[in-house]
């Protein structure tokens, strides 16, 4: 009944694992690091950019984490700027306002020009109109305390004495 056909044993990766069971689903380095930014792509760009002869395995993970943090920080501040202007869409103007009003981001991006961002609203105090003498005297005088009821005023004076 045997036809003489030989059964061959599976070789390759399935044989080394000790069985032909289901293949494990691969987990990306971004998922392992808990990041949204692509660790593999950043690693590839580091290698292709020829920044160094050798790139460590932790370098793209660290760089992805730093870039993700910076992006989240800028987006959060730009979203707040958009909300302050009663808009629900972030524009380059909101990004510029966010970056320039934040001390650390402003220092990091000091030499950067953001297209269609405009400039910070700023008027030099020298250019503002001078106050007149009457307006200055009015601001210098403290406002008088007014009481609603005439009965309460004498009680207050008695408490001060």
pLDDT digits (tens, 9 = 90+) for 61-84: 999 999 999 999 999 999 999 999
Output the pLDDT for position 137.
72
Helix 39-48 × helix 59-84 angle, to 10°: 110
Using alpha carbons, select from 53, 68, 64, 66 the residue that is nearest to residue 29. Answer: 64
Is the distance from CB of 6 to CB of 39 less than 8 angstroms? no
Output the pLDDT for position 74.
98
Q: What pTM was computed for the model?
A: 0.67
Output the pLDDT for position 84.
96
Q: Under 8 Å CB-to-CB from 9, ≥6 apart: which residues?
A: 15
Point out the residues of the chain with pLDDT beneath 70: 1-20, 136, 141-161
Is the distance from CB of 40 to CB of 6 less than 8 angstroms? no
């Amino acid at each position: 009944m045997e036809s003489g056909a030989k059964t061959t044993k599976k070789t390759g990766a399935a044989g080394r694992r000790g069985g032909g069971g289901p293949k494990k689903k691969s987990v990306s380095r971004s998922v392992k690091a808990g990041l949204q930014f692509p660790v593999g792509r950043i690693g590839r760009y580091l290698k292709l950019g020829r920044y160094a002869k050798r790139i460590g395995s932790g370098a793209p993970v660290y760089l992805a984490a730093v870039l993700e943090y910076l992006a989240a920080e800028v987006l959060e501040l730009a979203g707040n700027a958009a909300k302050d202007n009663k808009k629900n869409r972030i524009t380059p103007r909101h990004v510029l306002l966010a970056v320039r009003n934040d001390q650390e981001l402003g220092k990091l991006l000091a030499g950067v020009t953001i297209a269609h961002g405009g400039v910070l609203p700023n008027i030099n105090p020298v250019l503002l109109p001078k106050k007149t003498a009457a307006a200055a005297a009015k601001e210098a005088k403290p406002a008088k305390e007014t009481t609603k009821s005439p009965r309460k005023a004498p009680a207050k004076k008695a408490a001060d004495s």
